[in-house]
A = this chain, B = another copy of it.
């Protein structure tokens, strides 16, 4: 366990069984997603098979887990947060399908399996992404408003994080930055949008499902922002230090595509230090929950220490 992990463990005087937590949450999320999506046999079968292929390709369900854990920290329950957790996962999966296309990152593998367009062809892959994005909003409509948070606020939250100012802005800046020398602040701009925005949205939506008061929502926002930035730095580090086989996707792609990454700008060691500092800041934000945020803390440590 890293220093950070040990510190957190000591602070709360208990160990949290993250493996079990993730197992049960992943199962629950998979069941819910399965129920929210049209069966694979629904006509036209091609599109529903393609949507399900990527949605059930073994994703780690980190965003749904963060969403559910945030709801729990705010005293909410899993079933209220579930539609929002699933909606975020659909947005995430659509963005991966489109990012993997030949016109974008041109990836053949994702999570150790062929990418959507390698199996179904580019036309269907584009449509499967479109359909998952649309489905995300259909699922979000299943959310039951709370006294503080109405349907339209939930939709604004999700469309903002997934839209042209955040998730898509990040992908555009990423595409445009290829082969160019970026400063650390330009890279941070990309990371904040490409990764942090949707992670942050996941925890905020979790809090909103639990009708959290404003100070808790602010704390979740700080937590999500910092964890999201750390997450992307770790991703960049793993792209350099791990094999494709281990990652289940093509390693070394950033270097090959001449993409700026934290390791390429500040080096591996400093990148690791930055990721740890961000994770510590994420922990600080959780103080307000007075020990009820063990799942969020454990997830943050896991995201920092993961090797794939």
Contact = CB atoms under 8 A, between A and B. Distances in A.
Nearest to A159: B138
A207 interface: no
Interface stretch (A56-64, A66-74, A98-106, A299-307): A98-106
Interface in A111-136: 121-127, 129-131, 133-135
A158 B168 CA distance: 21
A180 interface: no
Nearest to A173: B44
A302 B114 CA distance: 48
A94 B164 CA distance: 13
Contact of A138 (B104, B122, B138, B163): B163
B169 A130 contact: no
A171 interface: yes
A308 interface: no
A158 B48 CA distance: 19
A13 to B, nearest CB: 43
Contact of A137 (B44, B131, B155, B165): B155
A44 B177 CA distance: 11
A141 interface: yes
Contact of A164 (B47, B123, B125, B175): B47
Copies in the complex: 2
Interface string A241-278: 00000000000000000000000000000000000000
Interface centre among A103, A135, A175 (most CB of B within 10 A): A103
Contacts of A130: 94, 98, 129-130, 133, 168
A137 B140 CA distance: 11
A6 B175 CA distance: 56
Contacts of A159: 134-135, 137-138, 141
Given A126-B104, A152-B141, A163 B134 contact: yes
Nearest to A144: B152
Interface string A151-172: 1100110111011110011011
A98 B126 contact: yes
Given A123-B175, A137-B155, A131 B164 contact: yes
Given A103-B123, A103-B125, A126-B126, 8 more contacts: A38-B164, A44-B172, A137-B155, A137-B159, A138-B163, A141-B151, A141-B155, A150-B151
